[in-house]
Amino acid sequence: MSRRGYVQAIGKDKNIGIKAYARFRPLIDPFQNDETDLYVYPNPSTVMVKKSLDNADSYTLDGVFPPTTSQEEIFNVVGKPIIEDILSGYNGTVFAYGQTGSGKSYTMMGLNIYDSDTKGIIPRATNLIFSKLQESNREIEYSLKCSIIEIYKESLRDLLSNSGAKLKIKEGPRKGVFVQGLKEVYVVCEEELMNVIALAESKRTVASTKLNQVSSRSHQLFVLEVDQKLPDDTEKRGVMNFIDLAGSEKVKESGVTGEKLEKNWKKLKK
């Protein structure tokens, strides 16, 4: 069983627009006695996968996190720099990719969004954003709004709305690519935002598998827009995208293949 999960971060860095990190989780039942893969970490950005005593594949990324890495350490390296970019008026994205059971949702959301030790990148990011805004000049006006979408079997579902309205991806000269009919919720404090996230999590499509008792069967896109108005009337807008992808081995079973898969994914990446 693979224990690899990938986290990618996209920020404003002009030299390196995309950074890729690998996080390894401990073995879980029923694979605790499986020793077919041995992972060696010769330095913080390289991992070697030993398939036999004399055969190993080496991979170099922007960072490699062994199983002992804490949630806080992950956030400080992957999430914190992008949040600082967002508050400076840039856009950024963090997404997790890997097979079922590799720890994507744990990395992005955590076991408990209110627990200081186990909460993931998203709740830590919301905490940092509000902390930074509250510490800033009181003359700065700011507003935050969020939307959360589930993508399941080629359908879009608004996790913040009970209307059941069918969502469609549109493109216009002013807005660019957007989701028509998507509900956007304004929040004024961290508690409100955490409640919104908890509501969305409770609606997400999940199912039990052999590898994961509560395994996501969908992609989830969480968008947080931060608008700031400075004392000199200049404005800054930063948009943060958090994406928790479904298990990578489940694409074939999702009902989206070939041209349709490529077309919709390209739209959502814009």
Contact 109, 122 (CB under 8 A): yes
Tell whether residue 103 is among the known ligand binding residues.
yes
Catalytically active residues, by annotation: 101, 103-106, 244, 247
Least Cα distance to 5 among 19, 28, 23 occurs for 23
Tell whether residue 101 is among the known ligand binding residues.
yes
Q: Is 126 exposed, middle or buried (0-12, 13-18, 19+ CB in 10 A)?
A: buried
Give the pairing type, strands 235-244 and 92-98: parallel
Tell whether residue 202 is among the known ligand binding residues.
no
Least Cα distance to 203 among 152, 242, 241 occurs for 152
User: Tokens 């608004």, residue?
Assistant: 158
Tell whether residue 102 is among the known ligand binding residues.
yes
Tell whether residue 258 is among the known ligand binding residues.
no
Tell whether residue 52 is among the known ligand binding residues.
no
Token readout for 147 is 């939307």
Annotated binding residues for ATP, as ranges?
Answer: 98-105
Annotated binding residues, as ranges?
Answer: 98-105
